[in-house]
Chain A
């Protein structure tokens, strides 16, 4: 195998950006992805088979046959699960990763999100900490992500947002009926509603057309390429440089470390299951918070017998996602206009500054309600079967609005990824073993957020409201998984430094949500993209100074 300057593991949000930035800087790059390069034709609009409701399987990986995990519940019972089963905490495995099928909300975190501990003080039972970088360190890269990939929306009416130097490049997507109902209601309550920023074309941008506002959005690949993912933006740009090669169907076994503690490359199984050794000057890991941690733990060497970067037992710790919380309301008029993506108005009034609480959540209404999603949102007094259920489906489908938001979690040391001692995947590689739960304070924040959602819906005219969504106490990760390779200045309490380089290892970098110290009360993708731009820029600077060549 020909030597390359950089191997990037994982072609999702972070890996896609890293591949492009390094290739454009002149490094030869091999981008390895365990999934396939999918088109919307490969994953049709199927409400029972997609990333959001995988009742009959997922549509963008990983496949159910080769990628088991072991999950341990709060009672200590363990079971082996497949990607489309509950508890697996799946994101995706394909070119683009989660960005192929996501809802595409493009949030910047707020200033407080980067300094949770200084804002709220320490919290018992949580490893809550400040990031080693501030919002302003990331601001230019948020802007870069917004303009390079394309974000529509208008957050100018959001007084809680941190400083923004440049407006979003595109106006919002056309508003739907729920927007017209919810926006004035929020204003009447003294709140500050605005148009959600989305990695979604509202007008032609970047050579791609605008959103056709179909009903099949969150969970599905966009057939008109209006959603910007790394698969249709930065990865094609990386390939266009001539410096980057993408290989799909490749499962990375481990990162090789030499006697001096430098990475020399990776071992992987290619699409034909052949074992390959790829030598490289630099390794960038971007497999998502669970698979990234698993790969580091599987990379054992004389210097790192407990796994790469795991000298102080922090790899795989602090696994977190979001504790979605919200309410649903029944209206006496039709609120359904079949105009996608559905979610269009949001508020950030309750992300911070909630009395007696740590953090909070952005609140927005849901994506267009597919019938099979409605079962879970019906009021608790509706039976799950019979004439009453059938009538309720007819009564509620066009008249229900769900307002919900991603409650920021307080990281817990024991919510973690380990290697399972027994179960191996198709290639014989030890699989991720997930265990732990959420911090109890999340329940308090969740109750508060649900109450705010009730108020918003009632003001909007809901004739009855009920709890639409509330978190359990078990492990949280899923599509927003983060935290397992914490960024920090102290090698004893973090895995990577502020440049996203693994402490003590000069040439291995982590560029996905694993490095997030906390995960905001927002969908994390824009932060992953921005941080990958930032870390790639630092890497390239370092490369040019000659610091990364063995």
Chain B
């Protein structure tokens, strides 16, 4: 079961990437392959790379492998809707800054460079010091926290697939051993 979801994610990622490349070739960026509710394919690639810097893969999956992009995309159209402009603006300027400085968007840079850039983003140092609306700080704090929430929070929201982070921490998944809290039924007769 655990292997299944890993393969599933990798396959989805691969397909998403392939589709986006074709689209980008045909009509530039800003298009969605239909996989996402809020994100464009280009944004999803940049955000995915950023999320994987926040929760990188080791012997346990990375943020994206555990479904954090699904979590973010879904929540950005619901409970975290107010963060839409922060993500839209932040991701665009992230990529623009990277293209200006290094000739390539964030997700295409080597992992070590991405890592160094995140440290600069976190402290609003060049090339991110001029970011406004959102500021580097606003953008970074949102992505940082929301990625962690997706990875460590309840799987029902689309991240932490299969409770992978809880297993990583050594927490039994069920509320009480032998009992799954999803199976809880309302009391007979409904509300008192």
> Do A and B interact?
yes
Residues of A within 8 A of B (CB): 37, 39-41, 44-49, 55-57, 212, 214-216, 223, 236, 336, 338, 371-372, 374-375, 384-387, 389-390, 393-394, 397-398
Task: List residues 101-136 of chain B with CB under 8 A from any CB of chain A.
Answer: 115, 118, 122
Instruction: Decide: A45 and B118 in contact? CB cutoff 8 A.
Output: no
Looking at B26-34, B36-44, B48-56, the stretch in contact with chain A turns out to be B48-56
In the bound complex, residues from chain A placing their C-beta under 8 Å from that of B165 are 371, 393
Instruction: Decide: A41 and B184 in contact? CB cutoff 8 A.
Output: yes
In the bound complex, residues from chain A placing their C-beta under 8 Å from that of B75 are 56
Instruction: Decide: B184 and A44 in contact? CB cutoff 8 A.
Output: yes
Number of residue pairs across A and B with beta carbons under 8 Å? 97
Instruction: Decide: A39 and B55 in contact? CB cutoff 8 A.
Output: no
In the bound complex, residues from chain A placing their C-beta under 8 Å from that of B54 are 385-386, 389
Q: CA–CA, A321 to B79, complex, Å?
A: 27
In the bound complex, residues from chain A placing their C-beta under 8 Å from that of B25 are none
- Given the known A-B contacts A39-B187, A55-B153, are A390 and B172 also in contact in the complex, defined by CB atoms under 8 Å? no
Instruction: Decide: B53 and A385 in contact? CB cutoff 8 A.
Output: yes
7 extra interchain contacts, Cβ-Cβ under 8 A, other than A46-B156, A56-B75, A384-B122? A214-B176, A375-B145, A375-B152, A384-B144, A389-B54, A390-B58, A397-B170
Instruction: Decide: B191 and A372 in contact? CB cutoff 8 A.
Output: no
Q: CA–CA, A338 to B154, complex, Å?
A: 17
Chain B nearest Cβ from A120, distance in angstroms: 40
Q: CA–CA, A236 to B171, complex, Å?
A: 37
Per-residue contact bits, chain B 54-70, to A (CB 8 Å; 1 contact, 0 not): 11101010000000000
Task: List residues 130-172 of chain B with CB under 8 A from any CB of chain A.
Answer: 144-145, 147-149, 152-154, 156-157, 165-166, 168-172
Instruction: Decide: B80 and A371 in contact? CB cutoff 8 A.
Output: no
Instruction: Decide: B115 and A386 in contact? CB cutoff 8 A.
Output: yes
Instruction: Decide: A386 and B175 in contact? CB cutoff 8 A.
Output: no
One of A55, A212, A387, A398 near B149 (C-beta < 8 A): A55
Q: Which residue of chain B has the shortest Cβ distance to A55 in the bound complex?
A: B149
Among B75, B148, B170, max chain A CB count under 10 A is at B148
Instruction: Decide: B169 and A394 in contact? CB cutoff 8 A.
Output: yes
Q: In which size bucket is the chain B interface?
A: 35 or more
Chain B nearest Cβ from A85, distance in angstroms: 9
Instruction: Decide: B144 and A41 in contact? CB cutoff 8 A.
Output: no
Q: Which residue of chain B has the shortest Cβ distance to A225 in the bound complex?
A: B187
In the bound complex, residues from chain B placing their C-beta under 8 Å from that of A375 are 145, 148, 152
- Given the known A-B contacts A385-B54, A385-B118, A397-B169, are A372 and B153 also in contact in the complex, defined by CB atoms under 8 Å? yes
Instruction: Decide: A45 and B175 in contact? CB cutoff 8 A.
Output: yes
Chain B nearest Cβ from A28, distance in angstroms: 21
Instruction: Decide: A41 and B181 in contact? CB cutoff 8 A.
Output: no
One of A57, A223, A236, A398 near B170 (C-beta < 8 A): A398
One of B152, B172, B186, B187 near A372 (C-beta < 8 A): B152
Q: CA–CA, A347 to B75, complex, Å?
A: 42
Q: CA–CA, A390 to B164, complex, Å?
A: 13
- Given the known A-B contacts A47-B153, A48-B154, A372-B149, are A390 and B191 also in contact in the complex, defined by CB atoms under 8 Å? no
Task: List residues 168-192 of chain B with CB under 8 A from any CB of chain A.
Answer: 168-172, 175-176, 181, 184-187, 191-192
